[in-house]
Structure 1
């Protein structure tokens, strides 16, 4: 049963000083609307009650090496008692413009990270309005007012560290914890991530956490026995199997929630089968040649 999720999401309207570095707000969202087994309302993410979480503003432990987290030596090979970070980016010109992530463990959503990013390069308004405005549902100025990808990605790594999903060394390098894995639908999300890291001059040598990911499409093939359906793929996966269908395609946070429902359905089908996760493991070719 899904109990609650923790959300990190910057608000343009609530920011009083746009020059101040982004500090995430974490709020508790009730997931009562998501208990339906059919269709999740478009407004489900806004039909919630918020309360402040003072722990979100506490400083990180400066003693990185003493944290009780183990850096991965072997890949995650089972679903039970393991942490999965589910990600489905949105992008403008192959750069991440929306950075959502859902942390799930044993079928329960534990926390959510969500932020928007501004492009690192100039985007022609006519090109944006010709495709991206309708596709993403926001005008270009919305993204230009957001924090940089560097800032948001660093906050994501710190969020993972806070939840013991990653380890940070004293030199600022992040590695995935031994009981944690990243899951995406296909490889395109990591292509967006790699492009954003390179364009924003984030050292790939300090992002060992992105070396591997697990492919939802491969899990589908092993669980269902057929090739994945057409676009919008995850929505059609959910419809095909009678799982929760989340509307609002091309919204990163909604698509990541859809990824959660599909992943959880596949997890239930595959958790007693051996070597399934190993077959879905993929290398990030930008980090591993």
Structure 2
């Protein structure tokens, strides 16, 4: 037999098997030796696995907080007083999207600096149903990306108030059944006080605040379904209170731009890349408004109400947002 100090692992293994073969009358001893070796191997594998898992756990515990510190953590922000993420997105959709309203927001953590924002955005042009999310927005390393939007709630419409062929549209509206409910985006030639339009026999759904000195002009929703604070009930608000609300929403967008900026900023047919600068200028201009006026707004009503209104208003453009055959659907 060779010197054990100079034998390789393969040679030791062969020597061990030769010894076992030479002991035919002591099978139990051979079996015991194999058990001891197998137990030793299992212990080594177990310890190695534990060591690897320990290293991975340490790496995870070190990296996860660092990632949360380096990038926006919407889950944490939304737990703060005021629910910063929810309130910012609610203001964003009110200022930017006629008819759309953020009803709920649930945030799920999905990995290192990766979160899913599960939102329900309701559309005021149809029956309101509060319930399951219909929009999923992923936030990864502080950047937003729409992952699922079943009803195109995040799709932007360019040039909504710039469609000129109003006479043809009115002729088409006249063909509708009397039971029809119509939703329109209307552009007037000259701005009018909001107070005056609110007295008309139609429903004012949303209005774009007239700011000729600002590139960006945002809007105010006049018909919110979810009311979480006093300013969410717009029915009894004065024009002065509406102006304060509009300024408050602009401030919300400006100070929390890092939350929503990847969703984009548009006004009319313009897309703004320098959103912070544009919002700063808009806010300064809004603070100087003495009388709240608008020339671009959205209305709804019956066929009779809408046609009477259009015939008695100095209209420049009409865009049909939606037509329901009756108030029952």
TM-score, structure 1 length as denominator? 0.24
Task: Judging by fraction of residues, say which structure has more strand.
Answer: 2
Which has more radius of gyration? 2
